[in-house]
């Protein structure tokens, strides 16, 4: 396989990878405790934490999938991201201080305080399985795209980037991850801006022609707007996005751990707002890349290989149309997106292993022993991530996406429901919640067997008119709603003392009322 990049571009990519390892080495001497390793000592400025949040959520999948989606269709997938700031405006003011006050390190410690050990392990296992498989998928998809440019076997790319992530995380801990994410975040934005600039320059008629052709083909649109949950519509993405925002910023260790990295509550809130403020425009940026690609190749159809898939159009453009130097920067941004996502997940999974499992089994463990366990966990999780990416390479792209959806649907069923019941109600109790979890698990299995996992093929279990026919994105929405409704109603049948106020939103509402009176 021959490289499509000039040696200068190759050098830029290599330097970016070596720099990631160098950052890990630079911060290695500061990792003397679990507080340093997982919370960066709590002295990272808000803007850097916010950039780290942004870089973590904007992965290389976004770098490839958003342009591909916009090229093939319109901007409907952007709706999910647009729900994030709307939801966060209403809940960050109490979610951030809640976690900073209640937990030491693990997000799922809150679930134990509120509903007991089963709730903690249900949610932490869901996080471990979901993010472990996500890491493998991100590493594989990055390798799949990078091999097009670098002319290197995909397995070698997966191994090299995987080892880079392991070294960065093992040596430098969260402090190295945050500061590397800052650089990689800027690199991601720069990559998108450069791509759009070159596309505008190369397109006959420039920006005006792009908007005209896009308008004629309804490319900059987020419809259809039908009130139809069986198809991928605006409203399906709205509801899915609302629960996505709550799940990502309220139950995801990779985000909640960033609240603890910040200096104080005020800094943590600022960091969260900054991360979201950067994410939404960047999602829009890469959607616009896809629209520009559509217009460019619509006007120059002979430049596009016959039969190329939508996700391959952006890599093809980079390989054939980008000037020397800029192509290298964009490929480096693609690799940076993968590293930013995976390094954070490896560190967070290590934190969960130490806090939720090792610390529970060995209660008298010293901080030094916990740090050693955490470092070993980084090595094991990183190596397993590489192995999983290699397995995905053998499976093929379509098998991955189908398998991941089924797995995510099962293991994340109702997690947001637990959070909502815990924060917004004092009456919900552990007995009612467990009934709600059992109900949502049964519902998820029913939906997967009768339609959601089958896609366009015949369902595994055909119940005729009783099949689950709504779009698969609604499965996650319904699973959380089932937990909330069934869990709350079931709780009413058990006489348990109301939850402590400090575990709910009511403590923060009370503080606000007192502050206004004072």
pLDDT, tens digit (0-9, with 9 covering 90-100), for 395-443: 765 545 455 555 665 666 788 999 999 999 999 999 999 999 999 989 9
Mean pLDDT computed over every residue of the chain:
89
Alpha-carbon gap, residue 138 to 140, rounded angstroms:
5
CA distance 229 to 84: 20
Phi, psi for residue 25 in degrees, rounded to 5: -65, -40
pLDDT tens string 159-203: 999 999 999 999 999 999 999 999 888 888 998 999 999 999 999
pLDDT of residue 146: 86
pLDDT value for 108: 95
Q: Summarize the confidence of residues 143-169 as an average pLDDT.
A: 90
Q: What is the pLDDT of residue 170?
A: 96
Query: In the structure encoding, which two tokens stand for residue 312, read together?
Result: 């391959």
Calpha distance 228→76 (Å, rounded):
14
According to the model, what pLDDT value does residue 392 have? 85
Split at pLDDT 50, 70, 90, the class of 100 is: very high
Give percent above pLDDT 70 in the chain.
Answer: 94
262 phi and psi angles, rounded to 5 deg: -65, 160
- What CATH number was assigned to the domain covering residues 7-22+45-397? 1.20.1730.10
pLDDT digits (tens, 9 = 90+) for 199-223: 999 999 999 999 999 999 999 999 9
Q: Where are the domains of the chain?
A: 7-22+45-397, 413-518
The pLDDT of residue 348 is above 90: yes
Residue 472 has pLDDT above 90, yes or no: no
Would you state the pLDDT for residue 42?
83
The per-residue pLDDT for range 9-56, each reduced to its tens digit, is: 889 989 999 999 999 999 999 999 999 999 998 889 999 999 999 988
User: Helices 154-202 and 310-321 sit at what angle, rounded to 10 degrees?
Assistant: 80
Helices (H), 73-153: 78-102, 109-115, 117-150
């Amino acid at each position: 396989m021959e490289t499509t990049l000039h040696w200068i571009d190759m050098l830029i990519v290599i330097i970016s990878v070596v720099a990631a390892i160098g950052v890990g080495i630079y911060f290695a001497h500061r990792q003397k405790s679990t507080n340093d390793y997982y919370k960066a000592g709590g002295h990272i400025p808000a803007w850097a934490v916010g950039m780290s949040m942004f870089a973590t959520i904007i992965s290389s999948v976004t770098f490839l999938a958003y342009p591909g989606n916009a090229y093939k269709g319109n901007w409907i997938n952007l709706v999910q991201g647009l729900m994030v700031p709307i939801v966060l405006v209403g809940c960050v003011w109490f979610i951030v201080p809640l976690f900073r006050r209640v937990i030491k390190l693990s997000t799922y410690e809150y679930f134990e305080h509120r509903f007991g050990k089963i709730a903690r392990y249900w949610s932490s296992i869901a996080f471990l399985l979901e993010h472990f498989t996500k890491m493998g998928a991100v590493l594989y998809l990055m390798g799949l795209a990078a091999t097009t440019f670098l002319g290197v076997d995909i397995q070698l790319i997966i191994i090299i980037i995987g080892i880079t992530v392991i070294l960065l995380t093992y040596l430098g801990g969260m402090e190295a991850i945050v500061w590397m994410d800052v650089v990689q975040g800027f690199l991601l934005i720069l990559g998108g801006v450069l791509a759009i600039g070159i596309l505008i320059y190369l397109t006959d008629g420039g920006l005006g022609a792009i908007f005209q052709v896009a308008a004629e083909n309804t490319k900059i649109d987020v419809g259809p707007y039908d009130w139809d949950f069986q198809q991928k519509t605006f409203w399906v993405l709205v509801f899915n996005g609302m629960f996505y925002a709550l799940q990502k910023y309220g139950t995801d260790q990779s985000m909640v751990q960033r609240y603890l990295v910040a200096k104080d509550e005020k800094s943590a809130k600022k960091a969260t707002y900054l991360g979201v403020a950067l994410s939404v425009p960047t999602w829009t940026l890469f959607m616009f890349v896809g629209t520009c690609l559509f217009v460019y190749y619509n006007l120059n159809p002979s430049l596009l290989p016959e039969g190329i898939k939508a996700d391959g159009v952006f890599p093809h453009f980079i390989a054939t149309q980008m000037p020397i130097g800029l192509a290298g920067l964009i490929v480096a941004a693609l690799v940076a997106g993968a590293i930013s996502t995976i390094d954070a997940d490896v560190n967070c999974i290590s934190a969960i292993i130490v806090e939720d499992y090792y610390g529970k089994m060995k209660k008298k463990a010293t901080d030094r022993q916990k740090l050693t366990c955490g470092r070993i966990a980084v090595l094991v999780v990183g190596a397993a991530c590489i192995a999983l990416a290699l397995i995905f390479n053998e499976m093929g792209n379509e098998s991955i996406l189908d398998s991941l959806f089924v797995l995510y649907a099962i293991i994340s069923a109702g997690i947001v429901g637990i959070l909502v019941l815990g924060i917004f109600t004092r009456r919900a109790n552990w007995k009612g919640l467990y009934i709600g979890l059992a109900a949502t698990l049964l519902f998820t299995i029913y939906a997967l067997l009768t339609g959601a996992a089958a896609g366009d093929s015949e369902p595994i279990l055909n119940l005729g008119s009783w099949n689950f026919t709504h779009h698969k994105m609604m499965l996650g929405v319904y699973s959380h709603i089932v937990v909330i409704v069934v869990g709350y109603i079931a709780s009413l049948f058990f006489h348990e003392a109301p939850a402590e106020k400090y575990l709910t939103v009511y403590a923060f509402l009370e503080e606000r009322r007192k502050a206004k009176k004072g």
